[in-house]
Structure 1
Amino acid sequence: MINPQWLRSFLNVAELGNFTRAAERLHLTQAAVSQHVKYLEMQLGPLLIRQSRTVELTPAGLALVDYGRDMERASWALQARLSGADEQHGEISLVTPGSIGLTVYPLLLNYQQRHPGLTIRHRFAPDHEVLEAILSNRYDMGLVTFKPEDPRLNAQRFMDEPLELILPAGVEYEGWDTLIALGFIDHPDGVGMATRLLSRRYPGRPNIREVPVRGFSNQVGLILEPVARGLGFTVLPRFAREAFADQRAIQVIECGSPVIDTLWLIHRAEWPLAARARTAIEHIRQRLQEGM
């Protein structure tokens, strides 16, 4: 282990080529700087060739200069990581529910392409796992569909996401009977979402559970695949629908007064988000508001 004070004295001598000027810069005596270099040479071998007015570096001295520069860069990188001040470098970690994640993750990748010093780490997870991931410090920030009450979490309104009734594109929609004839494509949140939306569209109609189920998928990116093939209808948040590749194969049915979920951006309340995370998530928010 190299003493950092000795190394600092040596690097200044190597840079300035003179013990006196190095001592003046470091606010030390020339004898102290000479002693530091002597200790290093006892540990590493000859580092300098002393001449009348300057010094010359030996191969070992050159190697120690390179080592010192590496240590300086590592120190700067650590300070930047701890302070979170560097917007262009470091990791951005985000955990989200599937629907918004389908839209956010590609936008984050686009952002990373413009800022190659960043590393993007994203995970899909339901709300309760998002909370756990943030509270255990495994991710910097997350999105959830409700405002948590936990005082350890800071929650900011991020975006509104309406629910949509989605049918195959070629189907002529004539109301509830059309839904009965098509059948429901279910998913983990399907019954809850469909109940909330269709009870407003069809007050007094039977429960969604009485609609025939024609399929089920727990992969949010695949839920609309059977709908696009004409095998049924479903209810999903808008971002999940917008992320589906074949928009021409599906249609959104107007349901009157919208049912809207609010997405909340959360992170630990005890410390602020790093600048790179704040900048990236604000960029994503703006892109979503602009319709990408």
Structure 2
Amino acid sequence: MFNAQYFRTFMMLVETGSFTQTAGKLDMTQPGVSQHVRKLEEYLGRSLLNRQGRKFSLTDAGRRAYDYAVKLFAEHEYFRHSLDDDSPDSGECRIASPGSVGLMFYPFLLGYQQMHPGLTVNYSFAFNQEIAADVLAGRYDVGIVTEAGKQPDLHFEAWHQEPLCLVVPADFAGTTFAELQALGFVNYTDGNTNASLVLRNNFGGEFRSMTHFPRQGFTNEVGQVLDAVARGLGFTVVSRPVLETSPWQRQVRELPLAQPVYDTLYLVTRGDVELPKRYRQLLETFRQQRLNSLYGYSELPSLEDA
């Protein structure tokens, strides 16, 4: 007999790679996890795992069973959440973004939830590729990413732009390209990409690549990168929300740019699903709030300028 719980247990096992972790996450015993996998194998008439002691790998049938389980529960989640589609002020909101966006967007969501008690916000900080994969799998309804992907089952929509800021230590007196080179660069996950855009547009005659800058360090947490800049270790390039929310913003300063450069943000959703009203309302509210804060009016700069 078909049992969805067996598929859920198997899906969790594949994602954790551990019977122990699966048991803990599903509040089961390890023998219970093994029994679910065995029952699923009996139901499908195929071995799903190649077992090597405590380790395992997936058989071809196991890979196909996992793919089916992901689609099965994604459809279930979309159905469950679609029941609240008609209400702009109630229901669950499952959203993910990189830290460069979430540092400002997540506090906004919490305030928005306080004004709309019928909403529940589940928010995750993740990287672009993880967000796209999890939206496709149904773990999030909406992702906000800084790059448009090419997955055929996902829809990427240019949504908003934030200025990129060239940030130096507060006591840095330089303005030239050579002085920035001498200072050195503090990198983070999207640092090279953002710095290249800003420097190419503002120092086009001198900039060749980021490899010509001394590397003064790296962090995978964008919210911490300005700590290094504040200590005088180098410069970096971050989006405006990172600078505006940083506890070190008084120990750093933004270097004026002759040619503004923008970080384009994209909404990623499943291509076969229309966003519920609650998402459209909260996303537009945030966007209008940011536009008014940045430019004094609610009009988006041309996306062609990104």
Q: Which residue pairs with 1:262 in the alignment?
A: 264
Identify if the C-alpha distance between structure 1 residues 86 and 190 changes in structure 2 by more than 3 Å, giving closer, same or farther. same
Verify the 8 A CA contact 1:81 1:90 in the aligned structure 2: no
Calculate percent identity across the aligned residue pairs.
37
SS of structure 2 residue aligned to 1:91 = strand
Aligned partners of 1:259, 1:197: CA distance in 2, in Å? 6
The structure that has the greater radius of gyration is: 1
Verify the 8 A CA contact 1:191 1:209 in the aligned structure 2: no
Residue 243 of structure 2 is aligned with which of 231, 241, 244? Answer: 241
Aligned partners of 2:293, 2:198: CA distance in 1, in Å? 23
Deviation at 1:99, TM superposition (A): 0.7
Q: Structure 1 length as normaliser, TM-score?
A: 0.67
Superposition pairs for residues 114-125 of structure 1, below 5 Å?
Answer: 114-125=115-126
Q: Which residue pairs with 2:252 in the alignment?
A: 250
Aligned partners of 2:81, 2:166: CA distance in 1, in Å? 47
Residue 207 of structure 1 is aligned with which of 201, 204, 209? Answer: 209
Q: Which residue pairs with 1:144 in the alignment?
A: 145
Aligned partners of 1:79, 1:109: CA distance in 2, in Å? 23
Aligned partners of 1:254, 1:137: CA distance in 2, in Å? 42
Q: Structure 2 length as normaliser, TM-score?
A: 0.64
Identify if the C-alpha distance between structure 1 residues 263 and 201 changes in structure 2 by more than 3 Å, giving closer, same or farther. same
Identify if the C-alpha distance between structure 1 residues 147 and 181 changes in structure 2 by more than 3 Å, giving closer, same or farther. closer
Amino acid at match of 2:242: A
SS of structure 2 residue aligned to 1:123 = strand
- Tell me whether 1:154 sits opposite 2:155 in the alignment: yes
* Aligned Cα root-mean-square deviation (Å): 2.2
Deviations 1:227-261, CA, capped at 9 Å, x for gaps = 12222111112222222133222111123222323
Deviation at 1:193, TM superposition (A): 2.1
Q: Which residue pairs with 1:217 in the alignment?
A: 219
Aligned partners of 2:173, 2:200: CA distance in 1, in Å? 21
Q: Which residue pairs with 2:127 in the alignment?
A: 126
Q: Which residue pairs with 1:287 in the alignment?
A: 289
Aligned partners of 1:94, 1:106: CA distance in 2, in Å? 13
SS of structure 1 residue aligned to 2:250 = helix
Verify the 8 A CA contact 1:80 1:86 in the aligned structure 2: no
Q: How many residues align?
A: 215
SS of structure 2 residue aligned to 1:146 = coil
Q: Which residue pairs with 1:169 in the alignment?
A: 170
Amino acid at match of 2:180: L
Aligned partners of 1:135, 1:79: CA distance in 2, in Å? 16
SS of structure 2 residue aligned to 1:155 = strand
Deviation at 1:205, TM superposition (A): 4.0
Identify if the C-alpha distance between structure 1 residues 96 and 132 changes in structure 2 by more than 3 Å, giving closer, same or farther. same
Aligned partners of 1:209, 1:201: CA distance in 2, in Å? 17
Superposition pairs for residues 1-292 of structure 1, below 5 Å?
Answer: 82-202=83-203, 203-205=205-207, 207-291=209-293
Identify if the C-alpha distance between structure 1 residues 251 and 86 changes in structure 2 by more than 3 Å, giving closer, same or farther. same
Deviation at 1:140, TM superposition (A): 0.7
Aligned partners of 1:263, 1:127: CA distance in 2, in Å? 11
Deviations 1:17-53, CA, capped at 9 Å, x for gaps = xxxxxxxxxxxxxxxxxxxxxxxxxxxxxxxxxxxxx
Deviation at 1:172, TM superposition (A): 0.8
Deviation at 1:90, TM superposition (A): 2.0
Aligned partners of 2:199, 2:155: CA distance in 1, in Å? 33
Verify the 8 A CA contact 1:91 1:121 in the aligned structure 2: yes
Deviation at 1:80, TM superposition (A): 8.3
Structure 1: which 4+ aligned runs deviate by more than 4 Å?
78-81
Q: Which residue pairs with 1:19 in the alignment?
A: none
Aligned partners of 1:217, 1:126: CA distance in 2, in Å? 14
Identify if the C-alpha distance between structure 1 residues 124 and 80 changes in structure 2 by more than 3 Å, giving closer, same or farther. closer
Aligned partners of 2:240, 2:146: CA distance in 1, in Å? 13
Verify the 8 A CA contact 2:94 2:140 in the aligned structure 1: yes
